[in-house]
Structure 1
Amino acid sequence: MRKPTLLRCSLLFGLLLPIVAGATELYRYTDDQGVTVLGRQGVPPEFIGKGYEVLNDQGRVIKVIPPAPSAEEMQRLLADKARANSDAQLLRLYSTPEDIDRARDRKLAELDGLIGVARSNLQSARMQQGNLQSQAADHERAGRAVPEHLLAQIDNQKDEQLRQYKDIARYQEARKQAQDSFAADRQRLAELLGRRR
């Protein structure tokens, strides 16, 4: 019988010890009027962001919680972290600026290939439209109405040409962005490698 009672007392003491020990801590913070407040109840949520100190029962500071960063500081910290991650990734991908040049050349060749295919498709659509319009003109010269399916095919070829123009413009924009991106990466890698020397 004695063991369970002793065990319960030990458990109860173990649960109460942090409460008793925590009761001797004081919290020092500044309120919204700029007055320094010393209390045992903790720091109200609206003042936590300003930072505070935890003191022991002798009044010695045992922990300092710094103020939360301002929105500008937080933005700068996030930008610095993003830049560090970007730099680390750049160093993982490329060992030298020449590696970037080779990757750029491959990407530009791929985009040039897509532009070439789109131009070829555009030329083909123009030729098909020309042939269809010639057939439509033959019908008109013979005094017959141009069949609906022929007019629909001509419209389809016009739409196809428009799609190809848009694709070419999109690929050319992607090419420009790739050149700019690789140039920026090359410059940044050179800076990072220069710092290591």
Structure 2
Amino acid sequence: MRKPVLTCCALLFGSLLPVLAGASELYRYTDEKGTTVLSRQGVPPEHIARGYEVLNSQGRVVRVVPPAPSAEEMQEILAEKARAKSDGQLLRLYSNLDDVERARERKMAELDSLIGVARGNLQSARVHQGNLQGQAAEHERAGRQVPEHLLAQIENQKAEQERLKADIERYRQARTEADAAFDADRDRLKVLLDRRQ
């Protein structure tokens, strides 16, 4: 019968130990007026961002919680994390500077091929439009009305040519941007590889 009572007392005392131990801690923080405050209750939520210290019963600092970073510091931290992630990806992608040049050559060849195909299609569209306009001219010379479907086909060929010109311009722009990106990758990789040596 005594065992259960002792067990309950031991459990109760054990659960109170952290509370008793915590009661001997003091929290030192600065309030909104710049006054240093010592408290056994903890740090109010509105003051946590400024940072605080936890002191033991002898008044010694046992833990320091630094202030939260400012918006500018947070931007710098996030930028540094992004840079580190980007650097890691770059090192996984390329083991040396020659890898960058090979990748550049492949990308440029791919974009040049797309430009070449679009130019070929543009030339075909121009020829097709010329043929359709020739048919329309034959109708006019014969004194007949040009059929609506023929006029629609001519307009479609004009629109197709404009689309292909836009594609060619987009591919050229992509080529310029890719070239600049490979330059940046090469320069950054050189810095990273130099740091390793």
Shared fold per TM-score greater than 0.5: yes
Partner of 2:37: 37
Structure 1 residue 81, shift from structure 2 partner: 1.3
Structural mapping, 1:175-190, within 5 Å: 175-190=175-190
What letter matches 1:110 in structure 2? E
| Superposed CA offset, 1:90-147 (max 9, x none) | 1111111111000000001000000111111111111111111111111111111111
Distance 2:19 2:162 in 1: 75
What letter matches 1:28 in structure 2? R
| Superposed CA offset, 1:24-58 (max 9, x none) | 11110001110000001111111111110001111
Structure 1 residue 3, shift from structure 2 partner: 4.4
Partner of 2:48: 48
Partner of 1:66: 66
Partner of 2:90: 90
Structure 1 residue 150, shift from structure 2 partner: 0.8
Partner of 2:172: 172
Partner of 1:161: 161
Structure 1 stretches of 4+ moved >6 Å? none
CA gap of 1:144–1:25, structure 2 versus 1, over 3 A, is: same
Does the residue aligned with 2:62 lie in a helix, a strand or coil?
strand
Count how many residue pairs are aligned between Structure 1 and Structure 2: 197
Gaps of 5+ in 2: none
Does the residue aligned with 2:69 lie in a helix, a strand or coil?
coil
Structure 1 residue 14, shift from structure 2 partner: 3.1
Does the residue aligned with 2:27 lie in a helix, a strand or coil?
strand
Does the residue aligned with 2:33 lie in a helix, a strand or coil?
coil
Partner of 1:138: 138
Does the residue aligned with 1:152 lie in a helix, a strand or coil?
helix
Partner of 1:120: 120
Does the residue aligned with 1:27 lie in a helix, a strand or coil?
strand
What letter matches 2:168 in structure 1? I
Distance 1:117 1:4 in 2: 88
Partner of 1:148: 148
Distance 1:140 1:10 in 2: 110
Distance 2:37 2:22 in 1: 18
Structure 1 residue 2, shift from structure 2 partner: 4.2
Structure 1 residue 175, shift from structure 2 partner: 0.5
**Identity over aligned pairs, percent:** 71
What letter matches 2:144 in structure 1? R
Distance 2:10 2:156 in 1: 86
Does the residue aligned with 1:63 lie in a helix, a strand or coil?
strand
Using the size of structure 1 for normalisation, the TM-score is 0.95
Give RMSD over aligned pairs: 1.3
